[in-house]
Structure 1
Amino acid sequence: MHEDEHGFYKKYDTLNDDFGNRLHTIYSASIIYTLLKIYDFDKDERILEGIPDWGDFLLSMQSKDKETRGAFHYSYYFKSKEKEPRFVVGTTALSIFTLLDLYNRTGDSKYLESAKLGGNWLTTMQRSDGWMKAYKEYKGGEWVYGEKKSLLYNGQVLSALSRLYKVTGEKRYYDAAEKITQCFTEKVEKEGCYLGDDYRSKNPISSAWVVMSLLDFYKINQDEYYKNIIFKCSGELLGKQQLETDEPLYYGTWDRAKGEFQHT
């Protein structure tokens, strides 16, 4: 974590003792979310003490500009004080996870209002067929969009919108979530539970995000159809887990889930 900005780095270069020159919103949101869950386990008061500063960094990364209002900048160059003009739907979605958790714990409406603004922007990034555009970025003097389909990003957005609807009851979030759900269920019906997308061939991480996000949607629409898909696909994923004891280093893992899994 940067001591002054209170945002989190993506990685640490041990050979060169270097954290890099920017802080990443998605890693900051994910680390805060993880620390909050750790607090639930061991009640470490240092975590609660960090909430105001961490929360303020996260809020500061939300765009107030008309063109991208509600979206979260991908990263922040702390030396030049510049925010990257790149807005990834997964970054905003995972920020919503954390903001809703912060709101639930503190009761501070600023976190809920920020989450809603993020959700509103996400609905503008949905294509007519229900799939999400991956990102919006200012590049070469114009706004460009990521048109590749990503199960990971769509899953993150589906979960975020489902959670927002559960808290707010605002129909716009449900409607957008339902469209992604339809995209997922149609894909499962056609291709099965082990899935890939425009970024990756079939792999367990993309497949797991379909299941996890459908579970969030099931919490707001308890249709048996969704429950059946959740159990069916969860079972198939478990069946692909490596349980051979002659490879102890990989016991319990999944093929194609090792190493860094990131969209660029």
Structure 2
Amino acid sequence: MTRRALLFAVWTLPAALCLAVTAIVYAAFRIAPPARLDAAERTAVMASLRAALDGPAAAPDVHRPLAGPLVVTVWSGGKSVARFDAAGADLAQATLAAAQAMRGSLEVRALSPADRAAARLQVDIVTGTGRLGGGSWLVDHLAIPGIADMLPINPGVEGIGADVGGRPVLLLPHELAGYKLLAAKRPSEAMPDLAMGADLARIGQLLASRAGAAAPVAPAALYRFRTDSFVEPVDHAGAPLPLVRGLPPPPVLSARTLREAALRGGRYLVAHLAPNGRYVYEHDLWTGAASDAMRPGGAYSMPRHAGTTYFLAELYRITRESWLREPIERAFAHLADLLAGGGCAGVLPDGTAYDCVLDRGESTAHLGSTALAVVALAEYQRATDDHRYLALAQRLAAWLLTMQRADGSFRHLYDVKTRTPDETAELLYYSGEAALALARMHTITGEARYAAAAGRALDWLVGWYDFFVGGFFYGEEHWTCIAAEALWPAVQRDAYRAFCDGYGAFLRAQQAEPGDYPDEDDFAGAYNLTPFVVPFNTPAGSRTEAMISAYLLGVHHGAPDPRIAAQIRAALQYALRQQIRPDSDFDVVGQGDGAIPATPIDRNIRIDYVQHVCSAMLRASELPDAPP
């Protein structure tokens, strides 16, 4: 498939398909948002429940009618250790019933006094129900797996239940997400990130198990429900926090909160850096399962290793926090170990030494691994004025130059055994990363050859879009814009500014604004094509990094774009809500403070999620017009 065809498949087809059914699904299946309890009501309900952990409780003076059960989850150490479903004539009676059940619970009594005091209670009040799917001839006729039966699910907001043996049995919204029962179907192999739907078979089995039924609950017996959810704050100080998709309200956007969030992300990464200089690549906050950084093999990305180390060096350069320096050097030591055993080192005919980065067991070098290693090494030198890694950066940059063609483009793969590049493979991000590496080499050395090579690379990247509809479709060009700004003032082509402005406009068309998605204003600021798919969090970072560079290019050329500034602020306000912090770590197993999950409902962490989002936060805090 050609690059242009891929762009069409990625951007146009999903949008057209989802637009065709949005109105139908909204009209037929919407459950109205809850009339949420106010702060005083939440406080009264929670006080009654908290009292039951250590003594008798009284019903709160909150007599709202109920549309379904009230559910209390007891979180301890990030795990749900007990749950209580209660009903009553009104909210006061249901709360009292749940409190009495907690008081007599063996699971609660098994907690130590300290654990009971530290536990956090979450309340879910069912406020409305709706059918699960089907009944619309157009949607049913499409019969695309994951669409015809499951578009109505609002992930992380709605749960699924059934009446079994005359009583309701519920899987709460956070349980559907935590047990990975959502985004279970992928309609297109060409678009693996387009995931939707739910695993109805497993849901039926889980509901039957909870009800003590022998046979799974049939899909036809399932229904959706919506809840008003809230959780105790840290140390139980203040009113309970309202939750949307399991997340409490975010901090107010400011330069200070952005810098604090970036430092929080840095601490997460340092805590997940093993003694051998390799990162704990993934961490599932729901289960606590994490990659073993001390064991060779498994999923690991050297471009992401280098990119993450680049962020830590950037964080050190801007904040001067001393605790960052040793971990950065530890990560570099791991790179040096890999280079020593990689077999890529050599000497060019003119006597120039070169080398490239490979992970253990690899025989093909990826351009991005070496490019981002150069970026990280250069950033460390910018931060410290320590030249100890300069010779290494020069060897790696020499290899990058051998991978560049005369027209400015790059070869992306290199067979180390045969010493030959692959002339056909083209991978996302690598050319922009290489352009940034060469731009940064010019920054730290002042050598014109690096600036010239970076300029040729950017000319090729920007010039590729010089065709009829090139201004309407863009690939993932965030590294291109970052490199263009990094090369200023050595290369001052207005074409780079114009390209990044156009890229920004293209991205703004995908950035949700309040009111764009019915009942999903928590997605405002995220980049997404449809309300039926939960947005990924990483683009709110990587694309914002690009937009910060685009904005700065405008500043350099005397024409800063206020639309880009607003775009940056919206994305980062969204991202602040996604980051794990004390308010939101009640359901986190292991050290998760500062982490950035994959999506609002997928609690898996990968190091590059943290890198991109926190780098954007850090750089935005330095913008000349950043809010104080």
C-alpha change, 1:33 and 1:154, in structure 2 (3 Å) is: same
Report whether the alignment pairs 1:235 with 2:235.
no
Instruction: Report the Cα offset of residue 103 of structure 1.
Output: 1.4
Output the CA distance in 1 between the equivalents of 2:454 and 2:419.
Answer: 29
* Counterpart residue type for residue 192 of structure 1: G
- 1:95 corresponding residue in structure 2: 373
Instruction: Report the Cα offset of residue 132 of structure 1.
Output: 0.8
Instruction: Report the Cα offset of residue 151 of structure 1.
Output: 5.2
Output the CA distance in 2 between the equivalents of 1:118 and 1:26.
Answer: 14
Map residues 140-219 of structure 1 onto 2, 5 A cutoff.
Answer: 143=420, 145=422, 147-150=424-427, 152-190=429-467, 191-192=470-471, 194-196=473-475, 206-219=476-489
The answer on whether the counterparts of 1:241 and 1:252 sit within 8 Å (CA) in structure 2 is yes
C-alpha change, 1:34 and 1:226, in structure 2 (3 Å) is: closer
Instruction: Report the Cα offset of residue 163 of structure 1.
Output: 1.4
Q: 2:296 aligns with which of 3, 14, 21?
A: 21
The answer on whether the counterparts of 2:409 and 2:460 sit within 8 Å (CA) in structure 1 is yes
- 1:223 corresponding residue in structure 2: 493
Q: 2:400 aligns with which of 122, 125, 128?
A: 122
The answer on whether the counterparts of 2:367 and 2:413 sit within 8 Å (CA) in structure 1 is yes
C-alpha change, 1:212 and 1:43, in structure 2 (3 Å) is: closer
Aligned residue pair count = 244
Report whether the alignment pairs 1:70 with 2:347.
no
Output the CA distance in 1 between the equivalents of 2:409 and 2:517.
Answer: 40
Moved more, 20-29 or 123-132: 20-29
Moved more, 107-116 or 58-67: 58-67
* Counterpart residue type for residue 98 of structure 1: A
The C-alpha deviation readout for 1:143-191, integer Å capped at 9, x for no partner, is 5626233451111111111111122122332232222122122223221
Question: SS at the partner of 1:188?
Answer: coil
C-alpha change, 1:38 and 1:173, in structure 2 (3 Å) is: closer
C-alpha change, 1:144 and 1:179, in structure 2 (3 Å) is: closer
Instruction: Report the Cα offset of residue 8 of structure 1.
Output: 1.8
- 1:200 corresponding residue in structure 2: none
Report whether the alignment pairs 1:253 with 2:526.
yes
Output the CA distance in 2 between the equivalents of 1:129 and 1:161.
Answer: 16
Question: SS at the partner of 1:194?
Answer: coil
Moved more, 144-153 or 14-23: 14-23
- 1:3 corresponding residue in structure 2: 274
C-alpha change, 1:164 and 1:144, in structure 2 (3 Å) is: closer
Instruction: Report the Cα offset of residue 133 of structure 1.
Output: 1.0
Output the CA distance in 2 between the equivalents of 1:106 and 1:189.
Answer: 41
Question: SS at the partner of 2:333?
Answer: helix
Larger radius of gyration: 2
Note the residue ranges of structure 1 that are not aligned, 5 or more in a row. Answer: 77-82, 197-205
Moved more, 44-53 or 13-22: 13-22
* Counterpart residue type for residue 254 of structure 1: Y
C-alpha change, 1:60 and 1:109, in structure 2 (3 Å) is: farther
* Counterpart residue type for residue 168 of structure 1: T
Instruction: Report the Cα offset of residue 125 of structure 1.
Output: 0.7
Question: SS at the partner of 2:437?
Answer: helix
The answer on whether the counterparts of 1:218 and 1:226 sit within 8 Å (CA) in structure 2 is no
Output the CA distance in 1 between the equivalents of 2:523 and 2:372.
Answer: 28
Output the CA distance in 2 between the equivalents of 1:71 and 1:182.
Answer: 25
* Counterpart residue type for residue 255 of structure 1: N
Question: SS at the partner of 1:115?
Answer: helix
* Counterpart residue type for residue 426 of structure 2: K
The C-alpha deviation readout for 1:84-137, integer Å capped at 9, x for no partner, is 223111111111111012112333323122112111100111123321111113
Note the residue ranges of structure 2 that are not aligned, 5 or more in a row. Answer: 1-271, 348-352, 530-534, 540-628
C-alpha change, 1:138 and 1:233, in structure 2 (3 Å) is: same
* Counterpart residue type for residue 250 of structure 1: F
Instruction: Report the Cα offset of residue 3 of structure 1.
Output: 3.4
Greater RCO, 1 or 2 (C-alpha within 8 Å, sep 6+): 2
Q: What's the TM-score, normalizing by structure 1?
A: 0.76
Instruction: Report the Cα offset of residue 50 of structure 1.
Output: 2.4
Instruction: Report the Cα offset of residue 53 of structure 1.
Output: 2.2
Moved more, 174-183 or 45-54: 45-54
Q: What's the TM-score, normalizing by structure 2?
A: 0.35
- Compute the RMSD of aligned alpha carbons: 3.2
Output the CA distance in 1 between the equivalents of 2:362 and 2:309.
Answer: 21
Moved more, 32-41 or 99-108: 32-41
Instruction: Report the Cα offset of residue 18 of structure 1.
Output: 4.1
Output the CA distance in 1 between the equivalents of 2:496 and 2:332.
Answer: 34
The answer on whether the counterparts of 2:512 and 2:524 sit within 8 Å (CA) in structure 1 is yes
C-alpha change, 1:151 and 1:175, in structure 2 (3 Å) is: farther
The answer on whether the counterparts of 2:372 and 2:437 sit within 8 Å (CA) in structure 1 is yes
C-alpha change, 1:86 and 1:110, in structure 2 (3 Å) is: farther
> Which structure shows the bigger proportion of residues in helix conformation?
1
- 1:54 corresponding residue in structure 2: 331
Question: SS at the partner of 1:235?
Answer: helix
- 1:86 corresponding residue in structure 2: 364
Output the CA distance in 1 between the equivalents of 2:472 and 2:460.
Answer: 13
Map residues 22-37 of structure 1 onto 2, 5 A cutoff.
Answer: 22=297, 24-37=301-314
The answer on whether the counterparts of 2:413 and 2:425 sit within 8 Å (CA) in structure 1 is no
What is the percent sequence identity of the aligned residues? 21
The answer on whether the counterparts of 1:151 and 1:209 sit within 8 Å (CA) in structure 2 is no
Output the CA distance in 2 between the equivalents of 1:235 and 1:86.
Answer: 37
Output the CA distance in 2 between the equivalents of 1:126 and 1:40.
Answer: 30
* Counterpart residue type for residue 446 of structure 2: G
Report whether the alignment pairs 1:108 with 2:379.
no
Output the CA distance in 2 between the equivalents of 1:17 and 1:168.
Answer: 40
> Which structure shows the bigger proportion of residues in strand conformation?
2
* Counterpart residue type for residue 213 of structure 1: A
